[in-house]
A and B are shown apart, each in its own frame.
Chain A
Amino acid sequence: MSGMKLSTDIAAASIVTIAAILALPNFLELFALINATVYVSMSVLALSLALVWGFGGILCFGQAAFFGLGGYSYAVAALNFGDTTYAVPVAIVVPALVAAALGYVMFYGRISDVYMGAITLTLTLILFNFVNSTAGDQWRIGAAPLGGFNGIPSTPPLNLPGDPGNPLPPQSIFTISVVSLLLCYIIAKLILRTRFGRVIVAIRENEHRAELLGYDARAYKLGIFVIGGAMAGLSGMLFANCVFVSPTMFSLFYSGQIIIWVMVGGLGTLAGPVVGAILLNLLTTWAGTLPDISPSLILGVILLLAVLILPRGVLPSLAVLFGHERGVT
């Protein structure tokens, strides 16, 4: 990837971001704008798996776990602090720490890929069941009741830094979400340009060879896994700002969907999964309005079609169509 391609990609992403910030809040009704914010938060989640799976080669079924942990950490911290300023870093650090602990056991324990999928999925399901069973007043962390199946409806929206009396309106939260997505995209791009990023891709291609060249694959995989966990935590925080946190964040539904977004958008690219997340979320929402047909069924058919017709994903296939053989990232 040349430096010029990098700056072109970042410039293009920035233009889309600015256009979205300027246009959408004016066109969309409040409900639609909040929905759009949810999609953007999902895109950050898709981006996190794009890094971990598409570039790190780690098929993680547990990205929803870090997403949920981010959301819950944010809600619990914000309720306890009475201010969201420091809840934001908590929402990023907690999932990153959990990813570090889990990743350490998996990568340094030399657990094979299949088991890794099973372990990450299990973590998500354990958290789902655990959080579901936290109804009742005894389940609270400081001032924050965990609320069991109902979640924490009182999840506070972001306020201006250091000014808890001033919660931000949905328009500002939309802007923050879109800017966060752009920043995550740029960070991911830059990571892949570094030596660390190159080695990560090499390990995806052939871990054994990378080790024979002197690279400690375990450390690199742990690194990208933690970055992915932190990014998923951020997306959970953004999501919590649009809706509120509840155990569904840890559900099988999300764990599976994230993988579909990445596959349909284009595994091995960054922009693809973002586009995939937005397109499929729009589609799921639309399908939800149809009578007699389950949105999951439609999603399943789309996944099948995508795998059969566009095995490389929507964005890389479009790139080939328009003559950019090497695809997009």
Chain B
Amino acid sequence: MTALLATEHLTIRFGGVVAVDDVTFSVATGELRCLIGPNGAGKSTLFKCLTGQIKPSVGRVLWRGRDITGLDSFKIARLGIGIKTQVPSLFDGLTVLESVRLALRRQARERDARAQAMATLERLGIVELAPRIVALLAHGQRQLVELAMVVAPEPELIILDEPTAGMSAEETSRAARVIRSLNDKHAIIVVEHDMQFIRAIAKTVTVLHQGRVLVEDDVMRVLADRRVQDVYLGKVDASLQVTT
């Protein structure tokens, strides 16, 4: 079966620095994949490359087997890929409802857009925010509004860059629930470094280290992996030990 999204020998260099080094991985339809690694592992660079913000030096990005390397962000979005950035990227001057309608406007008729937008807000449990101006919302709410914009057009794949950045413990656990429920309908790639969060949501995990794929395996086996513990913490941390 052809993978939904795949990379082949993806390499991204900035001058002499190799940020992403020969990364080959693939995500299947309906999968939930976590892409983890310590700071500087190349996660954000890979995210930017997958979402069309930077072009790779070598290698290809494939969508359903079709080469989409170097496509502009808006063309990648049109393929059916929803993209959520680390710092919420929102329309601050608009209302929540208008923001989500904009996410739908490209494909839905004007009349349907409003109903669909409200349904999406309902689904994420933030329907009461509909008339609010985005700029006035709290950080956690902003994350959810961005998620609503990403989810509304029903993309086949959602790519989330550090979705829990700046969230409280409670908000993080809520985000974990939301992401798991989104996985019922969408394939998801989560780029993260919060191990607790990864443990709460992940099935398969790809670990990046110094731009390369270190391990790719089931979450429990990855967390128990000595090499992963070493690159993450430089030493073994008891909280990451898997109890069986």
Contacts and interface: CB of A to CB of B under 8 A. Distances in A.
Interface of A: 195, 198-199, 201-202, 204-206, 208-217
B7 to A, nearest CB: 19
B93 A212 contact: no
A211 B74 contact: yes
Interface in B82-127: 83, 85, 89-94, 98-99, 101-103, 105-106, 110
Contacts of B105: 195, 198-199
Given A198-B102, A206-B90, A213-B103, 6 more contacts: A205-B90, A206-B89, A206-B92, A208-B89, A210-B102, A213-B149
B121 to A, nearest CB: 16
Contact of B77 (A199, A204, A213): A213
A213 B106 contact: yes
Contacts, number: 61
Contacts of B103: 213
Nearest to A208: B89
Nearest to B152: A213
23 contacts: A195-B105, A198-B102, A199-B102, A201-B93, A201-B94, A202-B94, A205-B90, A205-B91, A206-B90, A206-B91, A206-B92, A208-B89, A210-B102, A211-B74, A211-B77, A212-B51, A212-B74, A212-B83, A213-B106, A214-B74, A214-B77, A214-B153, A216-B74
Contacts of A199: 102, 105
A319 to B, nearest CB: 16
A208 B74 CA distance: 9
B77 A212 contact: yes
Interface of B: 51, 72-74, 77-78, 83, 85, 89-94, 98-99, 101-103, 105-106, 110, 149, 153
B163 to A, nearest CB: 15
A201 B94 CA distance: 9
Contact of B74 (A195, A205, A206, A217): A217
A277 to B, nearest CB: 24
A205 B94 CA distance: 8
Nearest to A216: B74
A206 B94 CA distance: 10
Contacts of A209: 89-91, 149
Contacts of A204: 93
A68 B160 CA distance: 49
A256 to B, nearest CB: 26
Highest count of chain A CB atoms <10 Å: which of B73, B78, B92, B98: B73
Contacts of B153: 213-214
B74 A215 contact: yes
A212 B85 contact: yes
A213 B90 contact: no
Contacts of A195: 105, 110
A186 B78 CA distance: 33
B93 A205 contact: yes
A215 B106 CA distance: 8
Contacts of B149: 209, 213
Contacts of A212: 51, 73-74, 77, 83, 85, 89
A202 B83 CA distance: 17
Contacts of A208: 73, 85, 89
In this complex, the member of A195, A198, A211 whose beta carbon has the largest number of chain B beta carbons within 10 angstroms is A211
A198 B103 CA distance: 11
B72 A211 contact: yes
A210 B153 CA distance: 13
Contacts of A198: 98, 101-102, 105
A205 B90 CA distance: 8
B91 A202 contact: yes
A170 B38 CA distance: 74
Nearest to B103: A213
Contacts of B93: 201, 204-205
A211 B51 CA distance: 11
A201 B85 CA distance: 21
Nearest to B83: A212
Q: Which 6 pairs of residues, A with B, have the shortest CB-CB distance? A: A214-B77, A205-B91, A209-B89, A211-B74, A214-B78, A211-B73
A215 B78 CA distance: 8
Nearest to B134: A205
A215 B103 CA distance: 9
Given A195-B105, A213-B102, A205 B73 contact: no
